[in-house]
Amino acid sequence: MGHRLARKDRKLNASLAETLSVAMLVLVLVSAVVRPFGLPEAVFAVPAAALVVVAGAIPWDHALDEAARLGPVIGFLAAVLVLAQLCDDEGLFQYCGAWMARTAAGRPRRLLAQVFLAASAITAVLSLDATVVLLTPVVFATAARLGARPTPHVYACTHLSNTASLLLPVSNLTNLLAFTASGLSFTRFAALMALPWLAAIAVEYVVFRRFFAIDLDAGAQAPPGADAPALPLFALVTVGCTLAGFVLTSAVGVDPAWAALAGAAALAVRALLRGRTSPKALLNSASVPFLAFVLALGVVVRAVVDNGLDTALGRLIHDGTGLAALFGIAALAAVLANVINNLPAVLVLLPLTVGTGPGAVLAVLLGVNIGPNLTYAGSLATLLWRRIVQAHDTEVRLGEFTRLGLYAVPASLTAAVLALWVSLAVIQGG
């Protein structure tokens, strides 16, 4: 009798732990979407993480393991955020805007192509946050300068901040997590993702040309003659050296975060000496509250996983890296990203696929990076982009955003999965 009661208590405790974990995850995600009173996401996420630990929904050692796993990733993210902001201070994005205006020559279709090129390169090298926060306002200004309708070009920024973040481990926080789990080198990761990256961007471009045909056929004008801003050579060289540092550190087994830190430090010292920034500005550009949010979210997601989500999702994941298995994993990841956001989705799915091999891990990445283009809540970058667009007095229509996603996401995800399958066969030998 006593043993039956003890078993019943344990089951009840497990049920309460699962309920608490799910409730805290919902609270964290809703607060990130709504941001009550304009408060940072961390204001809700950190207490939620503390509660699941104190209440026993996740053991202390599991919480510490999760913090240790995310620590290097968060440090890397902080360095890349600072690097992107310093590149903006050097005039890199203003130069990019002047280049787009000049080469578009008053033709909206050509401007869309230039935005695709710029956003894809910036997302890949400086992360999706740089595209959303720094490039989007430049695209607004460039479209206004040409008299072009801004919608196609501005929407391209948010789609490419997700889709074009497939290429490098540094392009997205989800990539950093997948890179760590995959066991791949920096160059092998990039080699495997190059063809899916190109395929997804190409499909997005075709969809945008057709979906926004009326806007792109509207009139525009060549920009008036003006002095072009100087090429920010020091920033470009620093970014190039930082990329080379990523490859070198990965090859010798050193955390690539050190290369990102070195690049950020080089630009920071120059900016401080020239009075273009301050220690406070550097700290602000690191987005410390957002970093705390990522860490807290990781702990909450780990609690949900420990309390049964891994078992439920594990039944839906196929073993192997055949084409059908890759499609299934990518589709599941895309759906989950739109249900619980792409960052929690990748935290949940990586432990379930890492034993299958790098192909399965990269398929997860395709789903969580391309899938969020379907809904506002799919990624934090999209939510941030929406606030930036509204700050420019431009309406983001839910119906239009969703219709564009319904055209773009299935097509680009299918193309990317096929391309990944080919890359695995050629580079990994199957």
Report the alpha-carbon distance of residue 365 to residue 349 in Å, rounded: 10
| Closest residue by Cα to residue 341 from 306, 310, 384, 397 | 384
Report the alpha-carbon distance of residue 378 to residue 369 in Å, rounded: 9
| Closest residue by Cα to residue 111 from 195, 232, 219, 207 | 219
pTM of the full structure = 0.83
Q: Region 81-98: what's the mean pLDDT?
A: 88
Angle, CA 23 vertex, CA 21 and CA 26 arms, to 5°:
110
Give 34: exposed, middle or buried? Use CB within 10 Å, 0-12, 13-18, 19+: exposed
Distances (CA, A) of 323 to 99, 174, 327, 421, 424: 41, 22, 6, 6, 10
DSSP 167: S
Could you report the per-residue pLDDT of 124-150, keeping only the tens digit for each? 988 888 898 889 999 988 888 888 888
Report the alpha-carbon distance of residue 256 to residue 70 in Å, rounded: 14
105 compared with 74, residue with greater pLDDT: 74
Could you report the per-residue pLDDT of 350-360, keeping only the tens digit for each? 888 888 889 99
- In sequence order, what are the residues at sequence separation of 6 or more whose Cβ sits closer than 8 angstroms to the Cβ of residue 284? none
User: Are the C-beta atoms of 179 and 250 separated by less than 8 Å?
Assistant: no
User: Are the C-beta atoms of 154 and 226 separated by less than 8 Å?
Assistant: no
Q: Region 321-346: what's the mean pLDDT?
A: 89
Residue 12: the pLDDT is 43
| Closest residue by Cα to residue 77 from 383, 315, 293 | 293
| Closest residue by Cα to residue 99 from 109, 89, 110, 90 | 110
Mean pLDDT, all residues of the chain: 86
Q: Region 39-56: what's the mean pLDDT?
A: 90
Distances (CA, A) of 39 to 34, 44, 45, 216, 402: 10, 9, 11, 38, 27
DSSP 212: T
DSSP 379: -
